[in-house]
Amino acid sequence: MAKTESTGSTWRYRWAQRQNVRRVSTYRGAETAWRRRDDELRRLRALAADFHGSAAAGAGLPLELLDDEVVLWALPAAQLVEVRHTTVLPAPDLTVAVPAAPLRPRRPDGVRVTDAGVAVITSRRLVLLGGRGRRDWAYGRMTGLAHDPAAPVSLVQVLDRRRTSGLLLPTDAAADFRFKLTLAFADSIEQRAAVLAQLDELIAEHEQLKPFRPAAATPAQARLSSLVPGGRRSIAVAAAVALLVPAALVDSNPSNPTRGAEVAVAATPAPTSNAFPALLRPAIPPPAPSTTPKRKPSPRPSPSATSGPRCGAPENPLGYDFCGGTRIRKPAAEVCDWFDCVPQFWAGRGYLVQCRDGSVSLAGGRVDACAEHRGVRRTVTK
């Protein structure tokens, strides 16, 4: 028996059922994506807290360790790559980047493979034990570090080597390698606490983005426009057509005297004598050029630089945020109007970073960055 009750015909119930199925499907997809990222952030937080190595972890590796050096991680399927052209990499920092999409198993253009072997992360250096020898990248001599966002390639620059080199790893191991290398580098400059605080903040910010379960649609909320395919948009188009068609019919009516006069004038042939010059001469003198200056069209307002997500950065018209992007080495002159700058801010020689006390410094990439402000918290990007 069909349901009618107080809401009328059964189409209202069918509409409510379709709406609820769509809402639940959308909610479950958003919740699954949110939970996947939440699990990854919490996994990284636990790994950062318990990431420690030991001298026994390097047993069996043909690597002589220093007195205070321990092996933190090793991977046997790594390839040594070198860049064919001279390039300048950004300075190493402590930004934790959770990949939004899986990496593709490819090698970027301009990068060639020169060796293969075991990649080892120790407390003092990154090492490749290859078939042609050993390649070391000491943390204390690193001047540049970059991870390809689309390919499992990480490039490193050090003071004692002219050519830029790095590692090509399996796609399923690249994310862990990059995070553990960040932790090892943070330990070398005694900034492990900054990485932990950054992860805590990322988890707290992500918690605020948890999707809410949608309210259930009821038959009483159905509208008559739901009966029309396309809804209100189809009704609006049909109404516009209904208004335009009669006007077009009236304009094309042959009984319209005005229309007939226009047709008769258009059909009257021009005089045959001196016809060619008549075509060249205008029948009505052209209007004199207007002396009134034309108004320039007002520019369309550009979207506010503060309309997008800032990932915890203060509201500002400069487009600066903490979401990860391009480092800022030449900030705008009014940056200190929107951020709390450290004393002697403009004396810094680096990129813009936020210190642990909330102030910003222009000494990013240097060992002494934010030294008097509890250390570096994260990078300011644009």
Same domain? 187 vs 313:
no
Give the closest residue to 354 by CA, choosing from 314, 315, 325, 318. 314
Instruction: Supply the pLDDT for residue 9.
Output: 62
286 falls within a domain: no
Which of 174, 191, 208 delimits the end of a domain? 191
Contact 51, 72 (CB under 8 A): yes
Instruction: Supply the pLDDT for residue 347.
Output: 87
The string of DSSP letters for 236-249 reads HHHHHHHHHHHHHH
Contact 348, 362 (CB under 8 A): yes
- pLDDT tens digit string along 182-191? 999 999 999 9
Report the distance separating Cα 275 and Cα 264, nearest Å. 20
Which of 157, 173, 191 delimits the end of a domain? 191
Comparing 105-114, 266-275, 371-380, the range with the smallest average pLDDT is: 266-275
b/e 170-205 (16+ beta carbons within 10 angstroms → b): eeeebbebbbbbbbbbbbbbebbebbbbbbebbeee
Question: Where residue 88 sits, what CATH number does that domain have?
Answer: 2.30.29.30
Q: What is the CA radius of gyration of the chain?
A: 34
Instruction: Supply the pLDDT for residue 329.
Output: 92
Contact 342, 360 (CB under 8 A): yes
237 falls within a domain: no
Report the distance separating Cα 321 and Cα 319, nearest Å. 6
Residues 6+ positions from 310 with CB-CB distance below 8 Å: 316, 320, 321, 322, 323
- pLDDT tens digit string along 328-351? 999 998 888 888 899 889 988 899
Instruction: Supply the pLDDT for residue 126.
Output: 96
- pLDDT tens digit string along 2-16? 444 444 568 888 888
5 falls within a domain: no
| Cα 202–chain centre separation | 16
46 falls within a domain: no
% of residues, the chain, pLDDT over 90: 41
Instruction: Supply the pLDDT for residue 295.
Output: 45
- pLDDT tens digit string along 144-186? 999 998 899 999 999 988 889 999 999 999 999 999 999 999 9
DSSP 121: E
Comparing 273-282, 345-354, 373-382, the range with the smallest average pLDDT is: 273-282
Comparing 78-92, 261-275, 359-373, the range with the smallest average pLDDT is: 261-275
pLDDT at 49 exceeding the cut of 70: yes
Contact 152, 178 (CB under 8 A): no
Q: Which residues span the domain enclosing 107?
A: 55-191
DSSP 110: T
Report the distance separating Cα 342 and Cα 361, nearest Å. 6
Distance set, CA 298 to CA 294, 301, 302, 307 (Å): 12, 9, 12, 22
80 falls within a domain: yes
70 falls within a domain: yes
% of residues, the chain, pLDDT over 70: 75
Give the closest residue to 159 by CA, choosing from 138, 178, 183. 138
Which of 191, 217, 250 delimits the end of a domain? 191
- pLDDT tens digit string along 253-264? 555 554 444 434
300 falls within a domain: no
Distance set, CA 347 to CA 143, 321, 341, 362 (Å): 20, 22, 12, 8
Structure token pair of residue 155: 């490039």
249 falls within a domain: no
Residues 6+ positions from 18 with CB-CB distance below 8 Å: none
Please tell me the total count of domains within the chain. 2
Strand, helix or coil for residue 377: strand
